[in-house]
Structure 1
Amino acid sequence: MRFDRVRLRNFKPYADTDVRLSDGVTVIHGLNGSGKSSLLEACFFALYGSRALDGTLGDVVTNGAEECEVELWFTHDGRSFSIRRELKRYGDQIQTTTCTLDSDDEETHREGAREVREFVADLLRMDAEAFVNCAYVRQGEVNKLINATPSDRQDMIDDLLQLGTLEEYRDRAGDARLGVEDVLSERRGALSSLADQIDEKEAKDLHARLNDLRSKLSELDENREHYEQQKANAESTREEARAVLDEQEDRREELSELESEIEDLEATVREDEAERDRLGDRVADRRDRVEELEATLDEQLAGVAVDDAKPETVDARRETLDEREADLREELQETRSQKNAYETQAERLAERAEEAESQAAEKRERAADREGDAEAAAETLAEREESLAELEAEREELEAVFDDAPVDIGEAASHRESVREDLDDVQAEIRETSNDLAAARSTVEEAERLLDEGKCPECGQPVESSPHVDSLEDDRERVATLEADLEALNDRKSALEESLSHAEELVEAENRLGQIADTRELVEDAIEEKESEIEGNRERAADLRTEAEELESTAEQRREAAGTQTERAEETRETIEGLEADLEALDDARDRLDDLASTREALDEAEADIERLSEKRAEVADRNEERREFLASKRSRRDDLREAFDEERIEEARDRLSEANDYIEQVSETLTELAERRDELTTRIGGIEAEIDELEDLRERRDDLAARVDELEALHEETEELEAMYGDLRAELRRANVESLERMLNETFELVYGNDAYSHIELDGEYELTVFQKDGEPLDPEQLSGGERALFNLSLRCAIYRLLAEGIEGAAPTPPLILDEPTVFLDSGHVSRLADLIEEMRGFGVRQILIVSHDDELVAAADELVRVEKDPTSNRSTVEHASDPSLTTVASELNAGE
């Protein structure tokens, strides 16, 4: 897998950034806090979404931005893919609005955060956590594997190597086996219970009992059919009698309804006649109202300036009044605005006069402050001149230290390093000589012991006539020589230590001279600054007093102008009162005109009411005439029904209905008894049939259950075999992976620690790590120094990456190897070894390595350099590609830039 390109908009410190990445080693370089790690976090976030974040979605959106967008293009297993995620702020919440994944085959498309994340996990065969454990060494997590407990480390590596899946399968197989055992035990118990139930039911002779009950039921059904036929005949007679009675009852009801309707119609006719009389009275009242309104209208016309009360005449007069009102109000508004302007100008002039007086007072106070500052600066100037003299005296004393020194000023640090190197060399010779002396003494002691026993010190044979007896004297001479050499070396060491102490004093003196030079320059600059400050304060005090006098004169002029504007405002107030009186007169005229219009409208309404009531009175008369004709027809129908009513036929029908009801009641009781007996027989037959069906069902269930028990026994054997197979397979694969991982780790370890005191690493089946020194002593990795431990962990992570890249059945596509600030715990020596490790991973065929670092030593290992800078003003980061990062001049330029 390879990252090809990442585009960011409002992601963390990036406003709008587009970065292309290529094969090989890419170093993302910049100062701490410039936003280097955010580029790789954006790639990780694009792949796995919120699962890739330590915080929340709100942490990735640039401060102050409402939206955020991340787009990643990558190649995997020969196919190209692109992922796009968009975030948007809704109040205090950040939500994903767009998340899509597409490929170059135009067939693969996923939409939605969950679908994209699951597709990426399936494509890479690792989720976000596995990605971090395999390929992404995040900042501050370089020691994650070594600090983990053995069980946690085992889970991490097993998950990466897909062995956790086998353990999951084994657990599932074990759960399945236990489940089969539970079901098998339950089924065996159920089979035994079914056999007992079948034996119990077969002993009841169910079929013979069923035939006897069915014979009794047949006889009962024949009697029941006879009584039901007789009952049907009686019901037919009853229905005929009821039909006669119903017919006569219908006639009686119709007759009653007709009489009621006739009575209602007669009442309605009387009510309408009364309504017609009332309408006539209301018409007379309206005519009287018209006469009163006409008289009022004549009176109102005399009080308004119009010839008649027609609507068009009234509207024309109202329009004239509106135009006059508009003119008056416009003039009133202008006059009020003019008055307000005079008053406002007067207030502003008064306020500005007060402001000028206040500013004048302030400037006089500031002038006094400036004079005080000048006096204080003069005192400080004297103190700094005294401090400068003290520094000059201390400088002369320190320069005198170098008069008898073996080096001049400026050479003390190099002289100290030279002495320190000589001391290190002597100490190394002392350690080597001490080791040789200890070995020689041991050889002499062993030889003397053998001589005391009568044996040769070299071959262990009897010393008589041995050619090696003389070697003991040589060993004793070597011990004496080594002791003399060691004493001389210790004397030289003491002398060098004294020289180193003196060199340290010279370095301190040299450093202090540099500090004095810097401080002296600062003090001289401060003296010059204070002199300038004193002169400036005194000049400024004089200027401020002049400005105060000018402001006081301006304040007096503004007060005079404010009085003039106040007088003008008073003159306009009288004009406003006259205009307001004219508007009140207009309102009175408009009210009289409105009264005239209201009277005219009331007169029109009264005349319309007369016309409407007259029409309604005529309608009532027409409606009553129709009702009288309808009333005559209903009276004729009532007379016909009275003649058709037959009392004798009704009495005969009642007798036949009573007889039929009596017979039906008697035969119904008999049929009820027969039905109860039949229900009893049917229930008993149903019970026996149910028992027979139950017996057959029990037999079928017994056969099915017996077959199921056989299947479960076979399945139980299969689950036991499957559980064992997964366990054996996991153990075998772990053994193979442990061997491969140990081999790869030692290859990397040999590159990193080949010349140190460590020989190799052992990795047991539980992924417990042990480092062995060259003398065979085992060490826990946590006993290594901070830099060694960090480099050891990087070696382990690279070995795991190699194992995953090579795969179980051949090469497998893996993500880029990502190292985020891997040099945090490394000194310069270990950083150079890290560069060798990176070069080694390239040799193993790692397609893409991405390194985030502020360390210039890693620049030489890069094929491509990406420079990240942050603008301190906007707090936004930018990205720039360097053309040839491997050149030394580039590293120099980076150092100069920083």
Structure 2
Amino acid sequence: MRFERLHLKNFKPYADADLDLRDGVTVIHGLNGSGKSSLLEACFFALYGAHALDETLDDVVTTGEDEAEISLQFVHEGETFRIERELRRSGDRIQTITCTLEGPDIAVDGATDVRAFVTDLLRMDAEAFVNCAYVRQGEVNKLINATPAQRQDTIDDLLQLGKLEEYRERASRARLGVEDVRSETKGALAKLDSQIEAKEDADLHARLNELETELTEVEDEIERFEGNEARAEETLADAEEILESYEETRAKLDGIEEDIADLRETIQSDESERDELREAIVEARDRIDDVETELETAAAATELDATTAAAVDVDALEARREVLDERETELREDLADARQRETMLSNQAEKLAERADEFEERAAELRDRASEAASTAAAAAERVENRTDELDALDGETDSLRAQFDDAPVSVGEAAAHRDSVQASLREARERVATTQAELSSVRDRLDEARELRAEGKCPECGQPVEESPHVDAIGEYETEIADLESDLDDFRAGVDELESDLERAESLGDAETRLQNLREKRSLIEDSIEDARETADERGSEAESLREEATDLDERAVEKREAAETQSATAAEADERVASLEADLDEIETARERLDRVERLRSTIDDAESEIDRLRERRQTLAERNDERREYLQEKRERREELAEAVDEARVETARENKAEAEEYLSNVAEKLAELRERRNALQSDVGGVKTSISELESLREDRERIAERVDALESLHGEISTLESTYSDLRAELRRRNVETLERMLNETFDLVYANDAYSRIRLDDEYELTVFQKDGTALDPEQLSGGERALFNLSLRCAIYRLLAEGIEGAAPMPPLILDEPTVFLDSGHVSRLVDLVEEMRRLGVAQILIVSHDDDLVAAADDLVTVEKDPTSNRSSVDRVADASLAAIESSADD
């Protein structure tokens, strides 16, 4: 796998960046904090998304932006793939809105599916990628600091040996499951054997023959008793028929006797009711006489001309009522007009009084406003005087500030540009001091190392014995170079001091320039404020005078309205008296109408009583006619009673009673006997059915036993096969681990020999538990933790490269490894160890690693690069940019020459 092209938009410090990546060694070079590592993090994030982050999505988007884009194009097994991710702010969070992967004949959409596809393609997830191919900044010692168990898990997962353990655990769980099923099945088989043995001991067929013989005998006995029962039931039926006919005749006689009694009682009741009706007619006539007397009195009170109750004419009542209705209509019309007039006058009086109150309130409000306007005018006049004094003070401060530019190197308006120029020069001077200090420190380190080697009798450059070596003058050159650098450093520091003084003067002029601009703006604002205050004083003074005049006018109008309100109130009182008089007239009309209603009610009562008398007479006549009819029907009933009495045969009835009693007694006895026999028959039938069921169950149990026995045999065979499979997975994992340990130990020692050739260490041992041991030339065993910081870092890089080689060779081309990525690998290395790291990188390239990406600012690594990419950060915008150096080797030579 090789990365080809990376595009970033608003990713960390990059606003917009494109980077083409080629085969070979690519070094990404730049100052600390410029954003070099962010390029590698972007590649890692493109592949695995949020799983590649130690932070949140909010932290990868450029500060101040709401969206970002990351695109990575890579080649895998000769095919080109492209991953694109788009991030966007939603509320308070950044979310992935688009994540796609496109390749030959494939398109994957969604962050989860893309991550799963990449994991399957590379046969490693994000954690395995970091442990195998991506040595992140500060994690160079990760594997050596891990425990053997952690190191074992990490390497086993990378080599996919964890799958074998997963398969072994699955086989183990399956074996235990088979054992459980086998145990349950054997228990079921033993239970079946016990059930079959119990049923075979019961001799079921002999028991069935005995039960069937006894059942036949019982059924014959039941048949005989059922025949006798049928004959007894016939005798009982005949006797019951005779007795039923007798009972029917007796019932008819009893019914006729009851009818005769009912007719007599009804005739007597109706005669009593006729007497009661006669008395009710007499009472109604007396009630009519009383009401007629009351009617004459009521008619006299109505001003009618009638002298008796019979003389009260309905037409006269209606005529009187019409007169009253016409008078009421006239009075109600007059009353409505009077009420309307009284309401109108009252409302007018009330509105006039309210209007007078409004005028008085408005007058008071206008006087308050006039006072407020006068106060505002006085305040505005005072503000004019104060602002004028402020202008004089501002003019004095302005003259003082302009005086600062009399002997300055720039004029007013040029101070900001002058300050920026001095700041830029100061930054350059400080960078020269820092660069010179770093160079001086490096040369001093090389001088110390050279002096140590010379003291040991070795050449300071090549490390060979001093005799006959052409490089014995290196120490003198280092000393000369140090003197020159110290002289340059003093000059540069003096320049920094001078520029710092100039910057202080430039910043003072810049502050003065800014203050002058502020004073100009403030003077303009004060002048505008003075003009506004003068206008306010004039306007508010005139407004106060106008408001006072308007208040006086409103007071006069209020007096007029209140006098008019009192006049309308007096007129409204007169109208109210007229309303009371009309309401009294209406009450008199209502009293006269009630008297007419009483006359009509009394006349209606007399008419109702006359009608009641007629109804009662008709009821008495009806009752007399119905009694005559009942007397004729009573005679017919008496004659029918005599006919039925002659038809009854008492002797035949008595014989039927005796036969019925004998039949009922026999049927009672035979029913009990039949019940016993039928119960016995049912029991025998149940026993026969139970025996037959047991015989059927015995056959079924035998079939189940044969089937379960076969299942037990199959489970025994399956258990053996799974146990064999479990052992196979365990043995295979152990064998593969042993081979991997041997291969990894060999590769690690090959890399170790390259890095530490002719040094104090002889070899490295890696045991089956992934425990690492370093041996010195004299055979002394050391723990890697006992190495120095630089040696330990280089040792870890050697181990990571060996693991990378093992994975690449183990996969055998089926899934080519991702690029080898080293992020600041020299952070713990001195100059001597850096040269060995260069040798290690060259060896990995020689062994066939197609692409190696290194983030570093070390010149030795720059010299070893096939491609050099530089990263710079703009100090103004705080945004980084990336650029490719046309000739990496030339850049390395120029860098060395500058040193």
Of 556, 560, 567, the residue aligned with 2:570 is: 567
Q: Is the 8 A contact 2:87 2:95 kept in 1?
A: no
Q: Which amino acid aligns with 1:229?
A: G
Displacement of 1:487 in angstroms is 2.1
Using the alignment, how far apart are the partners of 1:198 and 1:165 within structure 2?
A: 60
Using the alignment, how far apart are the partners of 2:605 and 2:725 within structure 1?
A: 109
Mapping of 1:287-302 within 5 angstroms? 287=285, 289=287, 300=298
Displacement of 1:263 in angstroms is 0.8
Give the RMSD, CA atoms, in angstroms.
4.6
Paired residue for 2:526? 523
Q: Which amino acid aligns with 1:696?
A: E
Paired residue for 1:694? 697
Using the alignment, how far apart are the partners of 1:318 and 1:708 within structure 2?
A: 116
1:441 aligns with 2:393: no
Mapping of 1:8-407 within 5 angstroms? 137-142=89-94, 158=112, 186-287=184-285, 289=287, 300=298, 303-304=302-303, 314=317, 318-407=321-410
The 3 A distance-change label for structure 1 pair 557 and 249 is same
Q: Is the 8 A contact 1:407 1:415 kept in 2?
A: yes
Displacement of 1:189 in angstroms is 3.1
* SS of match in other structure, 1:210: helix
Q: Which amino acid aligns with 1:267?
A: E
Displacement of 1:675 in angstroms is 4.1
Paired residue for 1:476? 479
Using the alignment, how far apart are the partners of 1:606 and 1:176 within structure 2?
A: 110
Using the alignment, how far apart are the partners of 2:538 and 2:206 within structure 1?
A: 139
The 3 A distance-change label for structure 1 pair 771 and 506 is farther
Paired residue for 2:153? none
Displacement of 1:403 in angstroms is 2.1
Using the alignment, how far apart are the partners of 1:349 and 1:646 within structure 2?
A: 118
Using the alignment, how far apart are the partners of 2:343 and 2:172 within structure 1?
A: 94
Displacement of 1:407 in angstroms is 1.9
Displacement of 1:267 in angstroms is 1.0
Q: Which amino acid aligns with 2:248?
A: D
From the CA coordinates, give the structure whose radius of gyration is larger.
2
1:599 aligns with 2:602: yes
The 3 A distance-change label for structure 1 pair 299 and 226 is same
Displacement of 1:535 in angstroms is 3.0
Using the alignment, how far apart are the partners of 1:472 and 1:706 within structure 2?
A: 94
Using the alignment, how far apart are the partners of 1:592 and 1:445 within structure 2?
A: 146
Using the alignment, how far apart are the partners of 2:173 and 2:641 within structure 1?
A: 93
Paired residue for 1:507? 510
The 3 A distance-change label for structure 1 pair 470 and 366 is same
Q: Which amino acid aligns with 1:466?
A: S
* SS of match in other structure, 2:198: helix
Paired residue for 2:469? 466
Using the alignment, how far apart are the partners of 1:607 and 1:179 within structure 2?
A: 110
Using the alignment, how far apart are the partners of 1:341 and 1:715 within structure 2?
A: 113
Q: Per-residue displacement from partner, 1:340-365 (whole Å, max 9, x unpaired)?
A: 22222222222332332333334334
Q: Which amino acid aligns with 1:220?
A: V
Using the alignment, how far apart are the partners of 2:498 and 2:364 within structure 1?
A: 77
Using the alignment, how far apart are the partners of 1:329 and 1:771 within structure 2?
A: 112
Of 637, 646, 660, the residue aligned with 1:643 is: 646
Gaps of 5+ in 1: 1-24, 26-132, 146-155, 726-761, 779-825, 837-898
Gaps of 5+ in 2: 1-8, 10-84, 98-109, 126-165, 730-800, 808-819, 829-873, 884-899
* SS of match in other structure, 1:403: coil
Using the alignment, how far apart are the partners of 1:607 and 1:144 within structure 2?
A: 105
The 3 A distance-change label for structure 1 pair 830 and 482 is closer
The 3 A distance-change label for structure 1 pair 684 and 469 is same
The 3 A distance-change label for structure 1 pair 176 and 708 is farther
Size of the aligned set, in residue pairs, is: 605
Q: Per-residue displacement from partner, 1:236-265 (whole Å, max 9, x unpaired)?
A: 323322332232223223322221122112
Displacement of 1:683 in angstroms is 4.4
Q: How does the TM-score come out when normalised to structure 1?
A: 0.59
Using the alignment, how far apart are the partners of 1:175 and 1:591 within structure 2?
A: 113
Using the alignment, how far apart are the partners of 2:297 and 2:328 within structure 1?
A: 26
The 3 A distance-change label for structure 1 pair 190 and 285 is same
The 3 A distance-change label for structure 1 pair 530 and 772 is farther
1:584 aligns with 2:536: no
Q: Per-residue displacement from partner, 1:802-823 (whole Å, max 9, x unpaired)?
A: xxxxxxxxxxxxxxxxxxxxxx
Q: Is the 8 A contact 1:159 1:165 kept in 2?
A: no
Displacement of 1:659 in angstroms is 2.5
The 3 A distance-change label for structure 1 pair 562 and 434 is same
Using the alignment, how far apart are the partners of 1:366 and 1:504 within structure 2?
A: 54
* SS of match in other structure, 1:409: coil
Displacement of 1:561 in angstroms is 1.1
Using the alignment, how far apart are the partners of 2:112 and 2:708 within structure 1?
A: 43
Paired residue for 1:455? 458
Q: Percent identity?
A: 41
* SS of match in other structure, 2:366: helix
Q: Which amino acid aligns with 1:142?
A: I
Using the alignment, how far apart are the partners of 2:319 and 2:531 within structure 1?
A: 91
Q: Is the 8 A contact 1:304 1:589 kept in 2?
A: no
Of 556, 559, 565, the residue aligned with 1:556 is: 559
Using the alignment, how far apart are the partners of 1:610 and 1:693 within structure 2?
A: 97
Q: Per-residue displacement from partner, 1:527-565 (whole Å, max 9, x unpaired)?
A: 333333333333233223222221221122122212211
Q: Per-residue displacement from partner, 1:76-102 (whole Å, max 9, x unpaired)?
A: xxxxxxxxxxxxxxxxxxxxxxxxxxx
The 3 A distance-change label for structure 1 pair 650 and 137 is same
Q: Per-residue displacement from partner, 1:850-872 (whole Å, max 9, x unpaired)?
A: xxxxxxxxxxxxxxxxxxxxxxx
The 3 A distance-change label for structure 1 pair 328 and 196 is same
* SS of match in other structure, 2:461: coil
* SS of match in other structure, 1:404: coil
The 3 A distance-change label for structure 1 pair 830 and 277 is farther
Displacement of 1:608 in angstroms is 3.5
The 3 A distance-change label for structure 1 pair 549 and 665 is closer
Q: Which amino acid aligns with 1:648?
A: A
Using the alignment, how far apart are the partners of 2:649 and 2:234 within structure 1?
A: 23
Q: Is the 8 A contact 1:238 1:661 kept in 2?
A: yes
Using the alignment, how far apart are the partners of 2:292 and 2:508 within structure 1?
A: 130
* SS of match in other structure, 1:142: strand
Using the alignment, how far apart are the partners of 1:202 and 1:254 within structure 2?
A: 75
Displacement of 1:591 in angstroms is 1.5
1:409 aligns with 2:418: no
Paired residue for 1:116? none
Using the alignment, how far apart are the partners of 1:368 and 1:694 within structure 2?
A: 119
Q: Per-residue displacement from partner, 1:740-773 (whole Å, max 9, x unpaired)?
A: xxxxxxxxxxxxxxxxxxxxxx9x99xxxx9964
Using the alignment, how far apart are the partners of 2:618 and 2:331 within structure 1?
A: 51
Using the alignment, how far apart are the partners of 1:688 and 1:164 within structure 2?
A: 71
User: Which one is further off, 232-241 or 380-389?
Assistant: 380-389
Q: Is the 8 A contact 2:87 2:94 kept in 1?
A: no
